[in-house]
Structure 1
Amino acid sequence: MKAQYALRRTKINLQLLSEVSHSTLKGHRNRLEAFFFSFFFSPTSDLGWISKVYVNPPAVVRHAEQIQKWRTVKGNWQAAWLLKAVTCIDLTTLSGDDTPSNVHRLCFKAKHPIREDLLKAMDMHDKGITVAAVCVYPARVTDAVNTLKAAGCNIPVASVAAGFPSGQTPLETKLAEIRLAVQYGAREIDIVISRSLVLSGQWEGLYEEIRQCREACGEAHMKTILATGELGSLANVYKASMIAMMAGSDFIKTSTGKEVENAILPVGVVMMRAIKEFYWQTGFKVGFKPAGGIRTAKEAITWLMLVKEELGVEWLKPELFRLGASSLLEDIEKQIFHHVTGSYALQHDLAMA
């Protein structure tokens, strides 16, 4: 079976390397040689090339360790990075005990992520700083949409779907869940892949599943969760990333947040290198979303710096980068409180997320 690209919901003839000259690409590839080797793909090829992808795990891990040793930014620079992080957060609640009231509270926090007086002290009160999206289960989408509409803000609602978090549901059920979430008002859909398709090397099956999910999303943006902690190897992470992008994903996302191992830097490096190669070959920019286990302001800055290093400043915006988190915003606001006041916030000083 031949694999056909379904990018951005439009069938197109790809212009390989449309924005990068062959000489420039060769220079980039020389620098990447220690990390990856993969055969170039073409719009008319089958997926046999995927078996030839190679990732050098020790080199990736060493690079990730170097990133963790980078000296962190301080003072005004730190505050600026943290405010940037806030605008890229998908503020999330995915608990079995979610109710309309705690979704309402989450939406209020999404609109007012940082205390107004703290923003005024930094002369940022009129910059419209909000989180990037509110992420909930499909059953809570209507609650979130209505609350945000009543608050007069245009923050999109994202919904997990497609058998989240395990992906162990029939494809027909996954597609129906996606359509319902969109019908309820979700403008972004975070789907999960069937990990068994990756582990058994069924790449065409994975492509077709994601393609059908993309079609079911309609005009909604689709983030594809790879659940990297359950894929077995960094090579599989790279392969799944490429297949997800070929099938039309707007974002690729590390984790559901429910796995034993969630967003870690080596996985981030691999996924970003896949995004970079996909961009070189197609001219399409696909977003990246680490999620799960990102709880501190320092971790958020590390991810931002990694994105800047690997993909460039143009990826440092909500359209191309998100942080999936439920408790991260609390720590960021504490750090900003300390930056402005010089003291540490007490429990009653900051609103609950």
Structure 2
Amino acid sequence: MNIERNPGMGLNLDWIESIQVNKSATERRAATLGTRRSVKKQNQVAWLLKAITLIDLTTLAGDDTEQRVKRLCAKAKNPLRHDLVEALAIADLKLTTGAICVYHDMLSTAASCLKGTDIHLAAVSTGFPAGLTPMHLKIEEIKESVKAGADEIDIVITRKHVFAENWQALYDEVKAYREACGEAHMKTILSTGEISTLRNVAKASMVCMMAGADFIKTSTGKEAVNATLPVSLTMIRQIREYHERTGFKVGYKPAGGISKAKEALVYLSMMKEELGNDWLEPELFRFGASSLLGDIERQLEHQVTGHYSAAHRHAIG
């Protein structure tokens, strides 16, 4: 799918100040998402296979090693066991995950492992996860990661700009990050669990899109609260509003806490209903996850055998 990249626009403070969120209505809608319909049998297989292609397979631990990253890349290239691929008759799909996401230090290892594939390589940057390092170092970190092979950069915003409603400062920051990314696509992490209100989430989402974000992303995965359905609804409705008013499509990435196949199906149905089929492609939707793939594989094995296997039989890295 060929998506014209969001170029951003000037900061429109009148637009930002007009944004409102009906918290109770958003929460009611979110509560119905997992109960209104279910996907069964072959349809569920198709949706779960789609979910695999949307995963940013991630390792962001302090004890990461080159060997762990190599194993993760091998899993990204072959996300399902060979016997399941044969049983499901999907060898022709050449299934892979959407991306591998790592710290800068692991980029060279990952780039070497992914050479010759279409799997994207993402690096977390700008003082991830807190984002409190000096600005010039954040800019240099982005540039170094792009130079090391990352074609996607996951940046974190400075949360104090949101608390102070200093939208100009947030806009200027994100715009500078976008310029530093160059041709690499930028996913902007809002850390929604730390910016308090759905109104803050909505306004920060719009500011980041105005500044040129290619994706807006919920969380670092390190917060006490990560991706939730009310937050996701709030963010994707801002994406819809931005697209309706500018014509540009911005991607969405929920991250942190999405570990079950059933949850992935809820997110997929929400994206389809709220934004349409274009947002069911990796160019516009990703899951930031580490253990989700293992549970999807477990569910697919159940479809083949009729039995649930132990989780340890579906290791990720």
Q: Compute the TM-score of the two structures, normalised by the length of structure 2.
A: 0.95
Cα distance change of structure 1 residues 277 and 343 upon mapping to structure 2, 3 Å threshold: same
Q: How does 1:44-193 map to 2 (within 5 A)?
A: 46-149=12-115, 152-193=116-157
- State the partner residue of 1:39: none
Secondary structure, aligned partner of 2:57: strand
Displacement after TM superposition at 1:105 (Å): 0.3
Letter in 2 for 1:129: L
Displacement after TM superposition at 1:315 (Å): 0.9
Query: What is the distance in 1 between the residues matched to 2:248 and 2:78?
Result: 33
Query: What is the distance in 2 between the residues matched to 1:161 and 1:103?
Result: 17
- State the partner residue of 1:287: 251
Contact 1:8–1:249 (CA under 8 A) maintained in structure 2:
no
Query: What is the distance in 2 between the residues matched to 1:277 and 1:336?
Result: 36
- State the partner residue of 2:165: 201
Displacement after TM superposition at 1:45 (Å): 6.8
Q: How does 1:17-36 map to 2 (within 5 A)?
A: none
Query: What is the distance in 2 between the residues matched to 1:164 and 1:186?
Result: 15
Displacement after TM superposition at 1:346 (Å): 3.8
Query: What is the distance in 1 between the residues matched to 2:197 and 2:164?
Result: 13
CA deviation vs aligned residue, 1:176-223 (integer Å, no higher than 9, x gap): 110111011001000000010001011011000000000000110100
Query: What is the distance in 1 between the residues matched to 2:227 and 2:88?
Result: 31
Secondary structure, aligned partner of 1:68: coil
Residue number among 180, 197, 215 corresponding to 1:233 in the alignment: 197
CA deviation vs aligned residue, 1:136-162 (integer Å, no higher than 9, x gap): 00111111001122xx42311100001
Contact 2:171–2:210 (CA under 8 A) maintained in structure 1:
yes
Q: Which moved more, 1:91-100 or 1:119-128?
A: 119-128
* Gapped regions of structure 1 (runs ≥ 5): 1-6, 12-42
- State the partner residue of 1:255: 219
Query: What is the distance in 1 between the residues matched to 2:248 and 2:75?
Result: 33
Cα distance change of structure 1 residues 180 and 341 upon mapping to structure 2, 3 Å threshold: same
Displacement after TM superposition at 1:344 (Å): 2.0
* Gapped regions of structure 2 (runs ≥ 5): none
Query: What is the distance in 1 between the residues matched to 2:188 and 2:61?
Result: 20
Query: What is the distance in 1 between the residues matched to 2:11 and 2:165?
Result: 17
Contact 2:218–2:232 (CA under 8 A) maintained in structure 1:
yes
Cα distance change of structure 1 residues 283 and 177 upon mapping to structure 2, 3 Å threshold: same
Residue number among 283, 286, 298 corresponding to 1:319 in the alignment: 283
Query: What is the distance in 2 between the residues matched to 1:104 and 1:255?
Result: 25
Contact 2:53–2:95 (CA under 8 A) maintained in structure 1:
yes
Cα distance change of structure 1 residues 347 and 307 upon mapping to structure 2, 3 Å threshold: closer
Query: What is the distance in 2 between the residues matched to 1:318 and 1:334?
Result: 22
CA-based RMSD of the aligned residues comes to 1.6
Query: What is the distance in 1 between the residues matched to 2:228 and 2:147?
Result: 34
- State the partner residue of 1:328: 292
CA deviation vs aligned residue, 1:67-109 (integer Å, no higher than 9, x gap): 1322321111111110000000000000000000000000000
The count of corresponding residues between Structure 1 and Structure 2 is 314
Query: What is the distance in 2 between the residues matched to 1:147 and 1:113?
Result: 15
Displacement after TM superposition at 1:228 (Å): 0.7
Displacement after TM superposition at 1:319 (Å): 0.4
Letter in 1 for 2:245: Q
CA deviation vs aligned residue, 1:225-257 (integer Å, no higher than 9, x gap): 011111111011110111111111110001110
Displacement after TM superposition at 1:52 (Å): 2.8
Letter in 2 for 1:71: R
Displacement after TM superposition at 1:349 (Å): 4.0
Secondary structure, aligned partner of 1:90: strand
Query: What is the distance in 2 between the residues matched to 1:274 and 1:329?
Result: 28
Secondary structure, aligned partner of 1:158: strand
- State the partner residue of 1:337: 301
Secondary structure, aligned partner of 2:93: coil
Contact 1:238–1:270 (CA under 8 A) maintained in structure 2:
yes
Letter in 1 for 2:150: A
Contact 1:92–1:324 (CA under 8 A) maintained in structure 2:
yes
Contact 1:9–1:215 (CA under 8 A) maintained in structure 2:
no
